[in-house]
C-alpha cells in the first residue's frame, strides 16, 4: 500500500473560492474506460452557487493570523548556552543535546574550548557549582549516573581552563526537571531538561548571539510538501540514504523501525531535511507516525558540533513546518518520507549531526548540500 498524498494550502492565501460539487451516480472508470472529468458531474444549481456556506468567500480583509503564517527562524536556532543573572549570582545553562551525543558524556575539543571561554570571567578563587540534569526517559539509576558523568566532563573542562577556581560537582538525574514533560511539546520539554548548569558569584560571560542568516538570492527550499504542494512518496525502488539505523518504536513494544536520512539541503534561508521511515514488522494494519512515536510528534533537529549551534523545525503557534505526524500512516515493508524545514545553518559547513528523535542515536557527519 502506498501512502496517500496530502495537499496543504500555500502560505499566502488571498481569496479562497469554495465550490460544492454534487456527485452523480457515475461509477469510477475501470479497465480501458476513460477517466472521470468535470463533464461527468451534473451542472451546479443556483441553490449551490448562492448558498452562504458554499459560495465564494473573500478573505482579503481577514487578519494576517488567518491568511499569512510567518515562521521566525530565530526561535528555531539555539546556541549551546543560556545565561541568566539574578543580582550577583550568574547561572549558565548548557544544552546537553549540543554538547553530547545521545546517552554520551564525552566532550569534543570545540565543546571544551567553548566551556573554557564561558568561564573566562569567573573571579579567581570563586566556587563554580556544576549540576548535571537529565529528562525522565529511562530509569532513575541510569539517569542519575548519566547526569553525574556529564557534570564531571563539564567540570573537567572548567578546571582545565580555570585551575584557580573551586569546583562543586553534582548529578541530579531526573529529580530536578526544569519543565514538566507533558503535552504536545514533549520533545521540546525533554530537551530543556537535558542540561548541565554552572552557577557562580560574579559577572556573566560575554557572549555574542549569532545573527540569523539573510536569505540568498533565489527561491527558498521546497517545503515539506514538495514544490507541487504534495507529500512525495518514496519511490518503489527505494530511496538512496546517506545514513540509516534500526530503532525501537516507542509506541509499539517489540516493533522496530528503519530510519534513515535521505537528504539535508540548504537553499536560501531554509534547510530541508528528508527522513525515510519504514516499519519492519508488526500488524499489517496502518499506524500513524504519531502512534508509533507513543502519541507524540516526531521533532527532528540538526546540530553543528563544532560551532555548538542547534537547529529545530520552524514553527508558529503550535504549527510545525513538517509532515503531519497524524496524517502519515505506515504499514510494514513500505517506506515513507517525513520532511521538515529548518533555518539555514549560520555557518557554512560540510556536515551536520541529525537527530530524528532524542531517544535514538543521532546521525553524525551527515553531508550538507548547498544550492
Q: What is the pLDDT of residues 130-152, one digit of tens each?
A: 999 999 988 999 999 999 999 99
Q: At 288, is the secondary structure helix, strand, or coil?
A: strand
pLDDT confidence of residue 37:
72
Region 235-261: what's the mean pLDDT? 85
pLDDT confidence of residue 355:
94
Q: Is position 238 within any domain?
A: no
pLDDT confidence of residue 234:
52
Same domain, 40 and 80: no
pLDDT confidence of residue 282:
85
pLDDT confidence of residue 21:
33
At residue 75, does pLDDT exceed 60?
A: yes
Q: Which of 58-62, 65-69, 237-241 has the lowest mean pLDDT?
A: 65-69
pLDDT band of residue 49 (cuts 50, 70, 90) is low
The number of beta carbons lying within 10 Å of the beta carbon of residue 33 is 9
**Cα separation, 323 vs 222, whole angstroms:** 13
Same domain, 268 and 181: no
Check which CATH number belongs to the domain holding 263 and give it.
Answer: 2.60.40
Please, which residues have CB within 8 angstroms of residue 235's CB and are 6 or more apart in sequence?
none
pLDDT confidence of residue 358:
85
Same domain, 326 and 349: yes
Q: Which of 51-65, 103-117, 187-201 has the lowest mean pLDDT?
A: 51-65
At residue 271, does pLDDT exceed 70?
A: yes
Q: Is position 3 within any domain?
A: no
pLDDT band of residue 203 (cuts 50, 70, 90) is confident
Region 67-81: what's the mean pLDDT? 76
pLDDT confidence of residue 19:
34
Same domain, 268 and 174: no
Q: Is position 346 within any domain?
A: yes
At residue 239, does pLDDT exceed 90?
A: no
Region 168-180: what's the mean pLDDT? 95
At residue 247, does pLDDT exceed 70?
A: yes
pLDDT confidence of residue 359:
84
Check which CATH number belongs to the domain holding 86 and give it.
Answer: 3.30.1330.60
Same domain, 165 and 184: yes
pLDDT confidence of residue 265:
95
Mean confidence (pLDDT) of the chain: 80
At residue 77, does pLDDT exceed 60?
A: yes
At residue 23, does pLDDT exceed 60?
A: no
Q: Is position 232 within any domain?
A: no
Is the model more confident about 24 or about 295?
295
Q: How many domains does the chain have?
A: 3
Q: At 129, is the secondary structure helix, strand, or coil?
A: strand
Same domain, 158 and 47: no
| The last residue of a domain, from among 26, 47, 68 | 68
Same domain, 91 and 46: no
At residue 231, does pLDDT exceed 50?
A: no
State which H helix or E strand residue 118 sits in: helix 109-118
At residue 69, does pLDDT exceed 90?
A: no
pLDDT band of residue 219 (cuts 50, 70, 90) is very low
Same domain, 187 and 134: yes
Please give the residue range of the domain that contains residue 43. 14-68
Is the model more confident about 78 or about 154?
154
At residue 243, does pLDDT exceed 80?
A: yes
CA angle 152–157–162, rounded 5-degree value? 120
Same domain, 156 and 188: yes
| The last residue of a domain, from among 201, 234, 265 | 201
Same domain, 174 and 277: no
Same domain, 99 and 177: yes
**Cα separation, 84 vs 77, whole angstroms:** 18
**How far is the first Cα of the chain from the last one, in angstroms, to the nearest whole number?**
34
**Cα separation, 81 vs 309, whole angstroms:** 9
Q: Is position 214 within any domain?
A: no
Q: Is position 62 within any domain?
A: yes
Q: For residue 349, give the nearest of 333, 365, 361 by alpha carbon.
A: 365
Q: Is position 230 within any domain?
A: no
At residue 54, does pLDDT exceed 90?
A: no
pLDDT confidence of residue 245:
95
| The last residue of a domain, from among 141, 170, 201 | 201
Amino acid at each position: 500500500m502506498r501512502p496517500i498524498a496530502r495537499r496543504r494550502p500555500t502560505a499566502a492565501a488571498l481569496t479562497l473560492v469554495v465550490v460544492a460539487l454534487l456527485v452523480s451516480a457515475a461509477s469510477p472508470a475501470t479497465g480501458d474506460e476513460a477517466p472521470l472529468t468535470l463533464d461527468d458531474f451534473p451542472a451546479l444549481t443556483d441553490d449551490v452557487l448562492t448558498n452562504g456556506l458554499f459560495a465564494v468567500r473573500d478573505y482579503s480583509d481577514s487578519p494576517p493570523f488567518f491568511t499569512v503564517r510567518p515562521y521566525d527562524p530565530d526561535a528555531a536556532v539555539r546556541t549551546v548556552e543560556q545565561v541568566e543573572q539574578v543580582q550577583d549570582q550568574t547561572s549558565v545553562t548548557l544544552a546537553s543535546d549540543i554538547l553530547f551525543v545521545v546517552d554520551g558524556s564525552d566532550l569534543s575539543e570545540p565543546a571544551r574550548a567553548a566551556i573554557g571561554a564561558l568561564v573566562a570571567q569567573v573571579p579567581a578563587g570563586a566556587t563554580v557549582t556544576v549540576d548535571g540534569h537529565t529528562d525522565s526517559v529511562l530509569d532513575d539509576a541510569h539517569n542519575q549516573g548519566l547526569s553525574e558523568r556529564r557534570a564531571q566532563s563539564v567540570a573537567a573542562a572548567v578546571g582545565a581552563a580555570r585551575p584557580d577556581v573551586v569546583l562543586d560537582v553534582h548529578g541530579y538525574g531526573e529529580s530536578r526537571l526544569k519543565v514538566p514533560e507533558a503535552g504536545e511539546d514533549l520533545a521540546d520539554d525533554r530537551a530543556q531538561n537535558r542540561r548541565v548548569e554552572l552557577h557562580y558569584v560574579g559577572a556573566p560571560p560575554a557572549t555574542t548571539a549569532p545573527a540569523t542568516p539573510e536569505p540568498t538570492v533565489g527561491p527558498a527550499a521546497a517545503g515539506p510538501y514538495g514544490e507541487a504542494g504534495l507529500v512525495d512518496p518514496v519511490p518503489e525502488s527505494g530511496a538512496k540514504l546517506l545514513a540509516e539505523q534500526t530503532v525501537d518504536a516507542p509506541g509499539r513494544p517489540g516493533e522496530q523501525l528503519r530510519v534513515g536520512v535521505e537528504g539535508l539541503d540548504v537553499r536560501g534561508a531554509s534547510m530541508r531535511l528528508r527522513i525515510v521511515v519504514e516499519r519492519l514488522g508488526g500488524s499489517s494494519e496502518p499506524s500513524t507516525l504519531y502512534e508509533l512515536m507513543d502519541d507524540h510528534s516526531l521533532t527532528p533537529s540538526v546540530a553543528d558540533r563544532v560551532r555548538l549551534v542547534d537547529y529545530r523545525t520552524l514553527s508558529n503557534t503550535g504549527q510545525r513546518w513538517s509532515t503531519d505526524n497524524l496524517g502519515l500512516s505506515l504499514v510494514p515493508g513500505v517506506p515513507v518520507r517525513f520532511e521538515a524545514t529548518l533555518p539555514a545553518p549560520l555557518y557554512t559547513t560540510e556536515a551536520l549531526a541529525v537527530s530524528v528523535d532524542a531517544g535514538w542515536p543521532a546521525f553524525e557527519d551527515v553531508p550538507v548540500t548547498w544550492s
